């Protein structure tokens, strides 16, 4: 489980650092306009609870294969949630990337890419661990 948690938290930390760094550069650029995605406090609370639940579920798999993409998803979500604490004066999450009329951040991209990476990883895990899929949880 230590390896799984190391991969999960390591991947998440890298994604959070990159996401928040990009947001900081974008909001500190005086010449650029940054779109903000307004999110209510209940979103932040629910997001934090779901992110912690996500980490716990991945830890229970004890799978390094799932931990890496799971950490990418977790880092993207955490980056968006941490934005509220870092920039409380902003009325939302900074979305510095604009493409095809949509504004988003690297955290949003990380969540999408991580979920896409997670699909094949989960299928491989399920195939390798068929017996564990329906076994009772043990500590």
CA atoms of 69 and 102, how far apart (whole Å): 24
* The model's pTM: 0.85
99-123 per-position pLDDT tens digit: 998 889 999 999 999 999 999 999 9
Residue, of 85 and 132, whose pLDDT is higher:
85
CA atoms of 18 and 15, how far apart (whole Å): 5
36-55 per-position pLDDT tens digit: 888 788 888 898 898 899 88
Beta-carbon contacts of 43 under 8 Å, excluding residues fewer than 6 positions away, are none
**For the chain, domain boundaries:** 2-133
């Amino acid at each position: 489980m230590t390896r799984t948690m190391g991969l999960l938290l390591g991947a998440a930390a890298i994604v959070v650092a990159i996401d928040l760094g990009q947001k900081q550069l974008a909001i500190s650029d005086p010449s650029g306009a940054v779109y903000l995605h307004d999110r209510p406090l209940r979103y932040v609370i629910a997001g934090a609870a779901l992110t912690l639940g996500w980490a716990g579920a991945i830890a229970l798999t004890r799978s390094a294969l799932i931990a890496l993409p799971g950490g990418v998803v977790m880092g993207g979500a955490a980056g968006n949630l941490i934005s509220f604490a870092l920039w409380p004066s902003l009325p939302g999450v900074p979305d510095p990337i604009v493409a095809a009329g949509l504004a988003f951040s690297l955290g949003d991209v990380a969540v999408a890419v991580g979920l896409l990476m997670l699909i094949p990883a989960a299928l491989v895990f399920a195939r390798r661990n068929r017996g564990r899929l329906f076994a009772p949880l043990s500590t």
